Amino acid sequence: MLWLLGVMLKRALRRKDRFRERLTEMRGLDWGIATEDLAIARHYRMSSQGIETGKGLPVDLDLELRFESAAAAVRILRKPTQKAFLDGMMDGRVRLVGDSGDLTRLQKLLRDI
């Protein structure tokens, strides 16, 4: 699922003008998704020049989304609304590492995929 997200992001950069415009306005975003135990982890380095993805979570990311389990991640990422993330954070199923403003920017960007 996380690998496919990378494919979808790269495709949106090539084909969707609004996605490319938003990414240019943001001046890029480096972020990652992982389970708390890091058994599953993937990062995305996004700029208007291109999108790179890879395994693991480098320490220099702007934003990390850590989920208590893979099942919790799938439930929340299927409908990635602000309410779903807030509920997950309140329940302890999601932990945000980084600036919450980056999460808002990421959610706006992902709407254009």
What three-state secondary structure class fits 83? helix
Angle ∠(78,57,68) on CA atoms, nearest 5: 45
Confidence at residue 103, expressed as pLDDT on a 0 to 100 scale:
86
Domain limits of the chain? 2-110
Angle ∠(92,87,102) on CA atoms, nearest 5: 90
CA distance 74 to 81: 13
Per-residue confidence in pLDDT tens, the chain, 113 aa: 889 999 999 999 999 999 999 999 988 899 999 999 999 999 999 998 999 999 999 999 999 999 999 998 888 888 777 788 888 889 999 999 999 899 888 888 888 78
CATH number for 2-110: choose from 3.30.1050.10, 3.20.20.70, 3.40.50.410, 1.10.630.10.
3.30.1050.10
Confidence at residue 107, expressed as pLDDT on a 0 to 100 scale:
84
